[in-house]
Amino acid sequence: MNIAWIIVVLLIIIFLQGMLYSKFGLKGITYQRAFKQDAVFEGETIEMVDEIANKKLLPIPWIRLESKMSPYLITQLKKEQLQQGEMFHRTLFSLLPYQKVTRRHRLIGAKRGYYPLNTVSVTTGDGIGFGEVFDSFEASTAVTVYPKLVPLEDIPLPSHSWLGDITVKRWIVEDPFLQAGIREYQQGDPLNSINWKATARTQSLQINKKDFTADHHLMIYVNFDTNEDIRMPIEQPEMVEKGLSYAASLANYAIEQGISTGFGCNGYFVEPFTNTTDRIKPSVRVAPSNSGQQIAYILDAIAKVKMDRSRNFRAFLQEDIDQGLTKTDMIIFAIRRTEKMEKQIAQLEGLGNAVELVIIGEEQEKGAEADAS
């Protein structure tokens, strides 16, 4: 056989295998993707698992998976590499007949948010690379990144704040009808609280420990306003993010102390959690509670808030005034204070609420002044 026939045979083989992979390359291919964690805190590691299988006799020399992914789900925490918009996550496999391959990817949640992954684009072809076939598979999964929690002492609360060691005394009173076990007698405890059976058993004075009943609620608000026109973008999103981190941290502390705590802001939820076609989307409100699941509800709500406004903060506060909100203590984190806000705070206080306004950024200004002096 001369060289010409060898070339013809090779071309026929190349053509036939190209036709074979074009028709059957993606047949019997299955793909699944999932995050090992439903939610993590900002800066923590997330494990994403790809699982692809070839359920046919024909081997796959190469198959490429591509999916859009937020730049805030990154392989290493280098903020200078973050870009706006989405980027492509690519994975390359080769599959033997009836083989299943699992790969694990370690990502970092670099920023608070809700990150869904929907479809994945699949490309394969023959071993020589003369032809390719494309398709997309449904592989929906999502991960929620909670805001970073900071120590309570890092939150710029006023020095006269009711928080700290006096929180429980300020917010919670003992209920004489609720028992929460026993404890050792301390100086100042009433004698009628002594548990004589426990005292005899332990040979030391023991008193009945009372449970607590909350008489107030705490609402933590974050003001997204940086200007009056809600059609304008938020000018200092990093400061609003800091306010959300403060709110999450304060809510976590308060709920640990048994305080009935809620959250609100004049932003709105990202899709698909804003199920409305109204021009003005509902603002975010989590009713106060001290249940075991409350902190998860608040963290989840904060994570899924879009960096945008549904209404001005004065309209947000006006809802509380119109509803006659009372017996509620409020902490408001805001970038600036306005005369209109001060007037609404006075109205809320007139209804029987206690309101503290915390200006985000003032702690940096005070620190800079201290360094300069």
User: In this structure, are residues 261 and 371 in contact, taking their beta carbons and an 8 Å threshold?
Assistant: no
Residues 89 and 160 in one domain: no
Residues 285 and 140 in one domain: no
Instruction: Decide if 243 is inside a domain.
Output: yes
pLDDT of residue 172: 41
pLDDT of residue 231: 81
13-59 pLDDT, tens digit each: 777 777 778 888 889 999 999 999 999 999 999 999 999 999 999 99
pLDDT of residue 372: 43
Query: How many percent of the chain have pLDDT more than 70?
Result: 82
pLDDT of residue 47: 94
pLDDT of residue 180: 52
Instruction: Decide if 87 is inside a domain.
Output: yes
Residues 184 and 100 in one domain: no
For the residues 356-368, what does the mean pLDDT come to?
Answer: 68
Residues 208 and 221 in one domain: no
pLDDT of residue 24: 86
Instruction: Decide if 12 is inside a domain.
Output: no
Total structural domains in the chain? 3
Residues 365 and 263 in one domain: yes
Reply yes or no on whether the pLDDT at 175 is more than 50.
Answer: no
pLDDT of residue 18: 75
| The token pair that represents 195 in the structure block | 């548990």
Range of the domain at 133: 27-146
From start to end of 126-171, where are the E strands?
132-146
- How far, in Å, CA of 33 to CA of 5, rounded? 47
257-300 pLDDT, tens digit each: 888 999 999 999 998 877 666 677 899 999 999 888 999 999 99
Instruction: Decide if 10 is inside a domain.
Output: no
| The token pair that represents 294 in the structure block | 């409350």
pLDDT of residue 36: 93
- How far, in Å, CA of 146 to CA of 160, rounded? 29
Residues 357 and 241 in one domain: yes
Reply yes or no on whether the pLDDT at 243 is more than 50.
Answer: yes
Residues 271 and 304 in one domain: yes
How does strand 39-41 pair with strand 132-146? parallel
Helix (H) or strand (E) holding 181: strand 172-184
How many Cα atoms occupy the beta-carbon half-sphere of 115 within 13 Å? 32
Residues 182 and 192 in one domain: yes
pLDDT of residue 55: 94
Rank 188-197, 210-219, 220-229, 244-253 by mean pLDDT and report only the highest: 244-253
Residues 239 and 349 in one domain: yes
Q: CATH code at 219?
A: 3.40.50
Residues 90 and 206 in one domain: no
Residue labelled with tokens 């959300």: 244
Question: How buried is residue 79: exposed, middle or buried, by Cβ count under 10 Å (0-12/13-18/19+)?
Answer: exposed
Instruction: Decide if 9 is inside a domain.
Output: no
Residues 140 and 221 in one domain: no
Instruction: Decide if 158 is inside a domain.
Output: yes
| The token pair that represents 347 in the structure block | 């109205």
> Of 141, 86, 148, 144, which Cα lies nearest the Cα of 114?
144
Range in 192-206, 342-356, 359-373 with the lowest mean pLDDT:
359-373
Instruction: Decide if 363 is inside a domain.
Output: yes
pLDDT of residue 16: 75
Beta carbons within 8 Å of 62's beta carbon, 6+ residues apart = 92, 93, 94, 124, 125, 127
pLDDT of residue 367: 46
69-80 pLDDT, tens digit each: 888 988 754 444
Reply yes or no on whether the pLDDT at 171 is more than 80.
Answer: no
For the residues 290-318, what does the mean pLDDT come to?
Answer: 94
Instruction: Decide if 163 is inside a domain.
Output: yes
331-349 pLDDT, tens digit each: 999 998 888 899 999 999 9
Beta carbons within 8 Å of 321's beta carbon, 6+ residues apart = 344, 347, 348, 351
pLDDT of residue 146: 97
User: In this structure, are residues 218 and 184 in contact, taking their beta carbons and an 8 Å threshold?
Assistant: no
- How far, in Å, CA of 274 to CA of 248, rounded? 21
What amino acid occupies position 72?
Y
Residues 160 and 267 in one domain: yes
pLDDT of residue 251: 94
